[in-house]
Amino acid sequence: ASFFLLCFRTSLIRPLICGLLLQPPVAQLSIITRPNIVLLMADDLGIGDVGCYGNDTIRTPNIDRLAKEGVKLTQHIAAAPLCTPSRAAFLTGRYPLRSGMDAVNNYRVIFWNGCSGGLPPNETTFARILQQEGYSTGLIGKWHQGVNCESRNDHCHHPLKHGFDYFYGMPFTLISDCQPTEAPEMDRPFRRKLWFSTQMIGLAILTAALGRLTGLISVSWKTLTCLAGFSLLFFICWFSSYGFVRYWNCIMMRNHEVTEQPMVTDRTTSNILRESISFVERNKHKPFLLFLSFLHSHTPLITTEKFLGRSSHGLYGDNVEEMDWMVGQVLDVIDKEGLKNTTLVYFASDHGGWLERQEGQRQLGGWNGIYRGGKAMGGWEGGIRVPGIFRWPGVLPAGKVINEPTSLMDIYPTVVNLAGGVLPQDRVIDGRDLMPLLRGMVEHSEHEFLFHYCGIHLHAARWHQKDSGAIWKAHYVTPIFHPLGAGACYDRGICPCFGEGVTHHDPPLLFDLSQDPSEAKPLSADTEPLFDTVIKNIGRAIEEHRSTLTPVPEQLSMYNVVWKPWLQLCCGTFPFCWCDKEGDN
């Protein structure tokens, strides 16, 4: 009996000891569940501009290395085709319509540092949740989610009010107005109209004055003086904003302090890279979130001399190759500090490349590969399908390619869950945790339907029919290209969401993206037996989706996007706003 009792005890103790030996230490478990997180986001980069997505002429070895060492997504979708709404969705995990960050008018992004619109303070970003979980959180680069609400210093939309401990970069976005040698970009057609109107008013007053002097027109000098005063007031009203765009919008900040006004573009790239590396080095001993929001590859394509002329795609290619080098520098510091295996790195673009962005014969916008359309087009794939790459050695498989629909909104629940946080329960979160899909624990994405907006207007929707592998996409509204068949709105510079510049489709245009990713051959009831069934299912999903929407204040309303002098960031005494505090360093 003693012998059998001894054998029984031994049989229990051995697996217990083996199990304890095989268990990772608590510290290792906490690292796996609370990794450092580095989010790299390009600006206006087309999916066709990256080597690992098929480009064999622009050199992107560091981004390609991420894909080789990690997981590449081939159907990674932005929630909007322009920066402000797309980034709002990225930060909140919600369609921008839910936070009021999509437009009812043609002003579809934040237009001024001195406007009152922006990401509402009651929205909860992933940065805020990670901050509450003990992460050091930093944003380096572009923000473009607004700054102030009611006064110059309330900073209600500022990154530090949305969960970031540290901010260095542009509260606005890079535009050609920031480069004195470039032609103005911001609201160019409207500015031309303002100049023309001013000239016509001035010419009319001058003609009336000459008529009065020659006796041809009977008008009092008092009336002419009032008209001249009105003309001058009209000119001052619009020129005080549009005449000083470089000073009002091209600003660099560190936390709440304006450090450059206007920004010195020659050193912007080196400063952003230095700040990113410094943030990693300062926070290497505790979990951190770094959101490096590149100013590349948005016009005016600020590129250092070292990279000028290096690519075979002109200034745009040079700019992309420099951004890739910056990615490599960040990866190198992660490796140097011994953080590679404890850091999740993610790379994406905020939306597709800008096809219409040209100056003469120079193409200054990106390329979207085989996908139709581009930036600002809410439905076509070229405007919303972007690169999506994850790397986390030892946790995510290397060299894996996933052909499932995913969204930039998915980053929100993914990083919140990894940090041990809890998703907000008082609102709809449209993103889905990607870790099971990335690790191969599930075969399919959780997204059955995705909805594609242009402003507040639903242009298209897709249905991932998992049992058949089909990815159906219905277009209800499409922009009218000019010239016809050109694939973009070259006459306007950017495609509209509504009005005379779009076509409404009833029945909708239907494509199966699994067979026709370029959206070249629309299906019909005659060519597709499932046409009616698919359209009904997508229509039903749209109605269910709309039932989850609730009215919210419009952050991009006309009132919220106009320039307000009392909200303008200023490092001096307004309107004398000028400083260069980085130059002192």
Residue whose C-alpha is closest to residue 419's, from 427, 411, 429: 411
Q: What are phi and psi of 359, to 5 degrees?
A: -130, 105
Structure tokens given for 159: 């990154």
Residue that the structure tokens 């068949």 belong to:
485
Active site residue 155: no
Helix (H) or strand (E) run with residue 7 in it:
helix 2-22
Active site residue 577: no
How far CA 585 is from CA of 260, 271, 580, in Å, comes to 12, 11, 10
209 CB burial (10 A radius; 0-12, 13-18, 19+): middle
Contact 453, 459 (CB under 8 A): yes
Q: Is 482 helix (H, G, I), strand (E, B) or coil?
A: strand
What's the start-to-end Cα distance of the chain, in Å?
A: 83
- Measure the CA–CA gap between 504 and 460, rounded to whole angstroms: 11
Helix 314-336 × helix 61-69 angle, to 10°:
50
How far CA 251 is from CA of 237, 254, 264, in Å, comes to 22, 10, 9
Contact 408, 89 (CB under 8 A): yes
Sign of CA dihedral 233, 236, 242, 245: negative
Contact 439, 416 (CB under 8 A): no
Across the beta sheet with 502-512, the strand order is: 449-454, 457-465, 470-479, 502-512
Q: Which of 76, 115, 144, 157 is catalytic?
A: 144
**Active site (catalytic) residues:** 83, 144
